Amino acid sequence: MLSLAAIMRNAYRAGIAVPAFNIPYLPMMAPVIRAVVDQDCFALVEVARLEWTKFEAGSPAAVMAEFQKWQAPEHVRLHLDHVPVIDEDQLQVDYLGIIREAIALGYHSVMVDGSRLSLEENIAATREVATLAHAAGIPVEAELGAVLGHEDGPPPPYDELFASGRGFTQVDEAVRFVAESGCDWLSVAIGSIHGAISGVYKDQKKISARLDLDHLDRLRAAVDIPLVLHGGSGVQREYVLEAFRRGIAKINIGTEIRQAYEATLRASGDIGAAQAAVYERTTWLIRDYFALSGTRRQIAAEAV
């Protein structure tokens, strides 16, 4: 069985993305994994710190326990998503403690998010996590630039954000960051935004985002490692598919499947119906939106 690091390198070389589905509610785990297997795709399921602090994922241990009930390692591995050094509420986080716990639990990859730090501090925090993770034989994702949207209150005005390039990953900083931090994958800011997580905003339809593909080209030419797109829900399809060809090897999906679960559960009161809605939405994303059905063998088979 190929390592996750090898699978991600294969995806990057082949222009095929690995979708990564966030699990803010534990009953979402089973239908997501079933959809991935049924579509013969390779994917990650993942949990970010905010999904156990602001939703109902419970803890890294609870997510791992649920994953182990349904695991299908030829199709799906478990990733620790955003563990911020400074969180969306501007609070200091025990990020090393959380990451050590996830490594001990057997997570297949981890992410440290130092994007609210200075470049030097982000490099230092990522390098510390990379040392821990690499000693355990697993890869590390980091973030450079600012994919906004998780902050309290309404999302920023999108057209203004895109036109200004606010928060976009800078090429010269990316070169230094990759060289000095030891990260294996880099989350870049090129126009996507996270789904809102606070108040009434978390139930609103996401903005139809665009991507600065020319900027992505410059980043890929400068740093030859798999790139990651956070805030993948709602990005216009033509941009997404082109981004896969230009170096995006992992795309995070949260809002699309979370809102399907929450809306169905509110309307029906039936967890089974909510799970069915997650299965249908995940299937649609893999098959119809991202065109990734049947791609597992191209990136995850031993003969690749």
pLDDT in tens, 168-178: 999 999 999 99
Predicted pLDDT of residue 5: 97
Is 1 domain-assigned?
Answer: no
Is 165 domain-assigned?
Answer: yes
Is 230 domain-assigned?
Answer: yes
Is 303 domain-assigned?
Answer: no
Mean pLDDT, rounded, for 64-88: 97
| Unique residue bearing structure tokens 């563990």 | 83
Is 302 domain-assigned?
Answer: no
Question: What tokens does 271 get?
Answer: 């967890």
Is 4 domain-assigned?
Answer: no
Predicted pLDDT of residue 231: 86
What is the domain count for the chain? 1
Predicted pLDDT of residue 205: 62
Any idea what the CATH number is for the domain that residue 261 is in? 3.20.20.70
Predicted pLDDT of residue 164: 63
Residues 7, 298: Cα–Cα separation, whole Å: 9
Predicted pLDDT of residue 234: 82
> 66-80, 106-120, 199-213: which range is least confident on average?
199-213
Residues 25 and 57 sit within 8 Å (Cβ to Cβ): yes
| pLDDT greater than 80 at residue 222 | yes
Is 272 domain-assigned?
Answer: yes
Is 188 domain-assigned?
Answer: yes
pLDDT in tens, 123-164: 999 999 999 999 999 999 999 987 765 555 666 677 667 666
Question: What tokens does 167 get?
Answer: 């928060």
Residues 227 and 188 sit within 8 Å (Cβ to Cβ): yes
Predicted pLDDT of residue 201: 44
pLDDT in tens, 22-73: 999 999 999 999 999 999 999 999 999 999 999 999 999 999 999 999 999 9
pLDDT in tens, 185-204: 999 999 887 655 444 445 55
The set of catalytic residues is 81
Residues 26 and 87 sit within 8 Å (Cβ to Cβ): no
Domain range for 266: 13-295
- 155 secondary structure, DSSP code: P
